[in-house]
């Protein structure tokens, strides 16, 4: 497909954020009776859903301790629910199953979910939690669980199928998706406004740019000469200078190659997505040795797209300078693209810790591309803001796939309508000390 020499809106990235932004933007223009032809283009150096979106676990949840994230996720869940067939979305629900150290946090999440009308039930107490889980899985055996938050909404989507469904919506509206084109820089005027997007196949003059590049966001940030180190005022009012804007975490996920129906509930139904956070000692299902006596967490679900039980565990930070991190974390030669044997041992042992049915299944762990590198902001929450006057950056801080609604909100802002749900995610929050509260979860994005 030939590259146009101009477009009103240039969107970088054909993943969840780029496609959803183009979708809503094209819808709004069409509703107003305006032509779409050559006004909106999406550029991607590889293809539709070729990066982080394409290997995402696909979980859709609202299990957030942070009120702003909870409201944003409720909006996104509603978008997923608007066309489950096109989005290959499975509304099975989501469960947060936790030990005592997280009980009060999770109880607060439930209370605030009720305040915004998001349907969920909360079970607390060790006996009550065990009974609730045994009523669903007769082989449940996790120890030390004292609370269960069962979100009746949410679930998961098949990652690439969902994006091809979204891409069809976009193209049906007249948006061009141009793949195999790499963005190499930006031309700017004397006021620092971007006037053109420079690519491997030429220059495209434009009025507005949207960057939805997932873990590559740091590279575009650098192209725009935005600060690599920033000032941050913490929740106690202390000012920290020279803080890294970006941090990189190794994300670990995998697949247990068993019949997905192995995880059916007692009544023969597909279960919710399950997430367990606990400080109970975790022992190897292979040799009985202690794996950890620290807080740990896993998530898992039956998934026919992955061909088994798919899920992951807490990531770990990459302890090296950001400039040395692989620029292409999803390339086929990247060693970080495949989760290692330590993860497999931990994750399968954790499954067996929770369900007797998974005991002895370590040989069925399937080593395949999953996880990858996540690019996190200074406080691990998204930055969604406009820079250089006409460049909107969606830096999802690895909250990405479930955030289908973010692109829709960004589209509204491109048309001049500020969105209240996005206000808590502006870049200015770091200097102003308007950070999001942090929970006791072992996950960096919580």
Tens of pLDDT, residues 275-334: 999 999 999 999 999 999 999 999 999 988 888 999 998 776 775 544 444 444 444 334
pLDDT, the chain, mean: 90
The neighbouring-strand residues paired with 7 are: 206
Tell me how far apart the alpha carbons of residues 44 and 210 are, in angstroms, rounded to a whole number: 12
List the domains of the chain with CATH numbers: 1-90+155-236+381-446 (3.50.50.60)
User: How many residues are given for the chain?
Assistant: 446
Residue 73, pLDDT above cutoff 80: yes
What pLDDT does residue 444 have?
54
Please give the residue that has the higher pLDDT: either 307 or 79: 79
| Residue 267 CB neighbours (<10 A) | 7
Global pTM value: 0.91
Of 224-233, 259-268, 316-325, 364-373, where does mean pLDDT reach its minimum? 316-325
Q: Given CA atoms 124, 125, 130, 131 in this order, what sign does their dihedral have?
A: negative
223-244 average pLDDT score: 94
What pLDDT does residue 335 have?
38
Model confidence pLDDT, tens digit, residues 162-214: 999 999 999 999 999 999 999 999 999 999 999 999 999 999 999 999 999 98
The neighbouring-strand residues paired with 243 are: 230
Sequence-separated (6 or more) residues with CB below 8 Å from residue 113: 62, 70, 119, 120, 151
Tell me how far apart the alpha carbons of residues 208 and 194 are, in angstroms, rounded to a whole number: 8
What pLDDT does residue 103 have?
94
Sequence-separated (6 or more) residues with CB below 8 Å from residue 433: 233, 234, 235, 237
Residue 371, pLDDT above cutoff 70: no
* Secondary structure E strands in 1-133: 6-12, 40-44, 59-60, 89-90, 94-99, 120-124
Buried b (16+ CB within 10 A) or exposed e, 212-241: bbbbbbbebbebbebeeebebbeeeeeeee
Tell me how far apart the alpha carbons of residues 202 and 4 are, in angstroms, rounded to a whole number: 9
250-261 average pLDDT score: 90
Closest CA to 96 of 88, 104, 111, 106: 106
Question: Which of helix, strand or coil describes residue 167?
Answer: helix
Q: Quick one: tokens of 256?
A: 């247990």
Model confidence pLDDT, tens digit, residues 80-111: 999 999 999 999 999 999 999 999 989 999 99
Model confidence pLDDT, tens digit, residues 407-442: 999 999 999 999 999 999 999 999 999 998 776 666
| Residue 398 CB neighbours (<10 A) | 26
What pLDDT does residue 67 have?
87
Residue 129, pLDDT above cutoff 90: yes
Please give the residue that has the higher pLDDT: either 335 or 163: 163
Q: Is the separation of the CB atoms in 136 and 123 below 8 Å?
A: no
248-267 average pLDDT score: 92
């Amino acid at each position: 497909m030939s590259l146009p020499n101009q477009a009103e809106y240039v969107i970088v990235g054909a993943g969840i954020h780029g496609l959803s932004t183009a979708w809503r933007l094209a819808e709004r223009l069409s509703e107003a009776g305006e032509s779409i032809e050559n006004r909106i283009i999406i550029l991607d150096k590889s293809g539709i859903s070729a990066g982080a979106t394409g290997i995402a676990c696909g979980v859709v949840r609202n299990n957030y301790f942070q009120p702003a994230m909870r409201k944003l996720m409720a909006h996104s869940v509603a978008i997923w629910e608007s066309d489950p067939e096109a989005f290959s979305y499975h509304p099975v629900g989501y469960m947060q199953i936790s030990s005592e150290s997280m009980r009060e946090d999770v109880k607060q999440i439930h209370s605030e979910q009720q305040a915004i009308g998001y349907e969920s039930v909360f079970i607390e107490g060790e006996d009550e939690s065990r009974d609730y889980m045994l009523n669903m899985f007769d082989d449940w055996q996790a120890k030390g669980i004292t609370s269960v938050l069962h979100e009746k909404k949410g679930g998961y989507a098949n990652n690439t199928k969902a994006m091809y469904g979204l891409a069809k919506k976009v193209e049906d509206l007249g948006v061009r998706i141009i793949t195999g084109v790499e963005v190499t820089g930006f031309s700017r005027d004397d006021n620092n406004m971007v006037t053109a997007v420079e690519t491997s196949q030429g220059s495209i003059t434009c009025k507005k740019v949207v960057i939805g590049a997932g873990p590559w966001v740091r590279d575009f940030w650098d192209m725009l000469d935005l600060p690599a180190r920033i000032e941050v005022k913490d929740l106690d009012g202390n000012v920290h200078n020279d803080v890294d804007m970006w941090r990189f975490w190794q994300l670990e996920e995998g697949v247990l190659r068993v019949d997905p129906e192995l995880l059916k509930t007692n009544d023969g139904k597909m279960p919710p997505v399950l997430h367990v956070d606990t400080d109970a000692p975790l022992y190897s299902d292979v040799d009985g040795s202690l794996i950890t006596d620290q807080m740990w967490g896993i998530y898992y679900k039956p998934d026919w797209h992955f061909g088994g039980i798919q899920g992951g565990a807490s990531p770990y930070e990459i302890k090296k300078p950001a400039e040395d991190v692989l620029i292409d974390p999803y390339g086929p030669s990247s060693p970080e693209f495949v989760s290692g044997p330590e993860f497999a041992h931990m994750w399968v042992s954790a499954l067996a810790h929770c369900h007797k049915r998974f005991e002895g299944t370590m040989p069925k762990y399937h080593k395949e591309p999953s996880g990858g590198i996540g690019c996190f902001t200074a406080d691990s929450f998204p930055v969604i803001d406009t820079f250089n006057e006409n460049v909107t950056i969606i830096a999802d801080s690895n909250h990405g796939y479930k955030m289908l609604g973010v692109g829709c909100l960004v589209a509204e802002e491109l048309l001049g309508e500020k969105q209240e749900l996005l206000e808590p995610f502006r870049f200015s929050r770091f200097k102003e000390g308007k950070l999001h509260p942090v929970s006791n979860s072992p996950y960096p994005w919580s």
